[in-house]
Structure 1
Amino acid sequence: MWHAFSGDFSEIEEDKRQQLWIDLTEYVPLAESDPRQIIEQLNLILTGDILTTDAIDLLVDYYGELEWAPTHERISNIIFLIMSSPQYSVIR
């Protein structure tokens, strides 16, 4: 599993830098202003835009339920869910 961050990689503890990290800095502003748009963009990137509207609606609702988490962790969870979907598996 990866770890998500947004910001400066040098702020990550040095002993943890050898782990797998995904930089979501460019996605954070979009996700904070319009979560549906970031989920639709991830749908396009990860599945070739084949997630159903119902699936996207579920992901948007789930994203909203994670309001306690930092934005980059919320995006990371959405990426994980999309990559766990049958649509992603079929494309790969």
Structure 2
Amino acid sequence: MTGLEKIIPLDKRDIKFLTYDLGLAAVLITLGYTLVDVDKSNHIKSQFIFSRDEHIDKMVNEYWDDKLMLPARSLLENQKMLKNRLYSVME
């Protein structure tokens, strides 16, 4: 292990949803999911950590299947907010 990996215990994986995908993260926020944290420990890409519920996997599948309908302005504002969060603070 290089020290860049962040180990999440198995019991915590069940209550969190993790993604590196900025678009998916913006969609989940637009859908009302709570962004718990942004893991920037890997200096190449950041991981978005969300609270998991019983519907999140269905929403993720609908995102990948291009079946979601969302308010465009809200989605773009959330994507901009995530980019600001990623790039405005250097750790």
Scaled by the length of structure 2, the TM-score of the pair is: 0.28
TM-score with structure 1 setting the length: 0.27
| Structure with higher helix content | 1
Q: Which has the higher strand share?
A: 2
